[in-house]
Structure 1
Amino acid sequence: MTDDEAARERDKGYLLDNRQAEAGERFAALSRLFDPVTFRRLGALGVAEGWSCWEVGAGGPSVPGWLAERVGEKGRVLATDLDTSWMPQAGAPYEVVRHDVGADEAPEGSFDLVHARLVLVHVPRREAALRAMVRALRPGGWLLLEDADPALQPLACPDEYGPEQELANRIRRGFRALLAERGAQLDFGRTLPRLLRTAGLVDVEADAYFPITSPMGGALEAATVRQIRDRLIEGGLATAEEIEEHLANIASGSLDTTTAPLISAWGRKPLSRPRPHDETR
């Protein structure tokens, strides 16, 4: 394989490769930013002792660990991902399995809860993945999907009052362009309620979380930019000097960087199928 062929093959893959060192920094920042939101929502759904839970695309240990504490020894937590290297397995109170939710069959068994955060927006076969998660639910079980909507709020710095903010927003546009090239649906988050209803779920609701500025928002921005640095340069989306300037602006602590809104949508699998409408009546 030539260098050009290798580069093209690499470009087909997931933009934010979990094997890169920066992935650990991103997971830590995402956890600090979004775990409180996720835990509140899971708690409101009633996750309790004895539940069986499937954490899809877990990435790191924080959510499966929280679930394992809630379900106790009588429950089950299955954590799956394409790359499980960031999840400790020895002695963990949950199962870890490598799994492609868009291509593989759903795990055996039925679940009281299936949860995926920041997963489906990156999965090319989203409909297949959603069907697999719904099939895995027991009647009455809950599906909670949480995904970003970068098109709903596309800026790194909504308050664009100077050159530092303008540079941050230009680099964020480059990031969005790279995501779109790899099949990410940038307006995906807003579609979650409709997708859950179409999949046959009931009691569907949704809300959104949009942090304007926080230390972890800056940490996430820095880790993400370092992770895609070479892609930005190769694509002519930013120069090496501009990237270093942006990272220095973040490190100064004076740049208010935000994320795309995280939209959480949840629905319940009906306890029984509704009877077909009798047209003769």
Structure 2
Amino acid sequence: MGQDKGYLLDNRQVEAGTRFKALAELFDASTFRHFETTGIAEGWRCWEVGAGGPTVPAWLAARVGPRGHVVATDIDVSWTGTAATEGVEVLRHDVARDEPPAGPFDLVHARLVLVHVTDRDAALRSMVRALRPGGWLLVEDADPALQPLICPDEYGPEQELANRLRHGFRRLLRQRGADLSYGRKLPRLLREAGLADVEADAYFPITSPACDVLEAATVHQVRDKLTAAGLATDEEIEQHLANVASGRLDLATSPMISAWGRRP
């Protein structure tokens, strides 16, 4: 992802691959539906920003065909590199600081990227600048503040513990510059950036086996930071992980806001 130094969920950790797979299972169908909205066709040039895992670049490459081209960028390409197939160029790139890849592009897409970037305004300007006239920008980002509970149905101590740990995790995110209300701002920000035909919607899984996998991997990644900050004990984290593994928790994700617009 286009993360700054101190990004909480390090791509180099082994759990990152598990997280990318779970995120793909949860959100790829919604993302691909939004790609269809843009009218993506053979021959398009696409820039996938903060690609993370390989599934989205691979889908784009299959859709644009041999006459098209897909550039997949990330500040850490540890996992994106597996997407390097015919038609996909993988580049190490910081969307907030580096010049855009050689364009212009028919479609630029970023998912779960800008919420973590401190200079997200510069990143958004860079993506808009890379569009051809008539090209589409699709930005998808979470809005944890819209729904702060990982267990919306907080009916017992297991759910209360899950929600308390989630509050601690989001506190760590805020301390690293994440904007937990960013998703709702996307339609306005796309209009202010000069895009036309702006629309947005939200996708919000309430429970899924992939939500369980995502939560376990996330907690494993941040447990040391949670305990160091006094936000949870090792015992509480072990109990929560056991609760997740039991399959009895209905774990939700933050609402994913998808906003898209066209460069005039």
Normalising to structure 2: TM-score of the pair?
Answer: 0.97
Give me the whole-angstrom Cα distance separating, in 2, the residues matched to 1:111 and 1:32: 27
Structure 1 residue 108: Cα displacement: 1.4
Gaps of 5+ in 1: 1-10, 271-281
Contact 2:84 2:90 in 1 (8 A): no
What is the identity percentage for the equivalent residue pairs of Structure 1 and Structure 2?
72
The answer to whether residue 64 in structure 2 is matched with residue 56 in structure 1 is: no
How far apart are 1:93 and its partner, in Å? 3.4
**How much does 1:44 deviate?**
1.8
1:151 is paired with a residue whose SS is: helix
Higher mean C-alpha deviation, range 83-92 or range 202-211: 83-92
Q: Partner residue of 1:72?
A: 65
C-alpha separation in 2, matches of 1:246 and 1:20 = 21
In structure 2, the partner of 1:31 is 24
Divergent runs of 4+, >3 A: 89-93
Give the structure 1 partner of residue 40 of structure 2: 47
The 1-side partners of 2:85 and 2:101 are apart by 21
Alpha-carbon displacement from aligned partner over 1:13-40 (angstroms, at most 9, x marks no partner):
1000000011011001000000000011
Residue 17 of structure 1 corresponds to which residue in structure 2? 10
- State the match for 1:152 in structure 2: 146
Task: Tell me what 1:256 maps to.
Answer: 250
Secondary structure of the structure 1 residue equivalent to 2:238: helix
Counterpart mapping for 1:108-123 below 5 A: 108-123=102-117
Structure 2 gaps, min length 5: none
In 1, are the aligned partners of 2:47 and 2:108 still within 8 Å (CA)? yes
Match of 2:88 in 1: 94
One-letter amino acid matched to 2:14: A
- The aligned counterpart of 1:278 is none
Task: Report deviation, 1:141.
Answer: 0.2
For residues 1-281 of structure 1, what are the structure 2 equivalents within 5 Å? 13-87=6-80, 88=82, 91-270=85-264
Q: Secondary structure at the match of 2:32?
A: helix
Residue 91 of structure 1 and its aligned partner are, at CA, apart by: 3.8
Counterpart of 1:46 in 2: which secondary structure?
Answer: coil
Q: What is the identity, as a one-letter code, of the residue corresponding to 1:48? A: A
How many residues end up aligned between the 2 structures?
Answer: 260
- C-alpha separation between the residues in 2 aligned to 1:255 and 1:39? 28
Q: Distance in 2 between matches of 1:177 and 1:206?
A: 27
Q: Which amino acid aligns with 1:218?
A: D
TM-score by length of 1: 0.91
Q: Distance in 2 between matches of 1:243 and 1:205?
A: 40
1:114-157 deviations in Å (ceiling 9; x for gaps): 00000000011111101100000000000000000000001110
Find the aligned partners of 2:133 and 2:101 in 1 and give their Cα distance.
16
1:69-89 deviation digits (Å, cap 9, x = unpaired)? 000000010000000010226
**Equivalent-residue separation in structure 2 for 1:54 and 1:12 (angstroms):** 23
Per-residue CA distance 1:57-106 (angstroms, 9 max, x = gap): 00011000000000000001000000001022654530000000000011
Amino acid at match of 2:23: L
Please provide the CA RMSD for this pair: 1.1
Output one character per residue of 1:242-275: Cα deviation in whole Å (capped at 9) or x when no partner: 00100000100111001100000000000xxxxx
CA contact (8 A) 2:57 2:83 kept: no
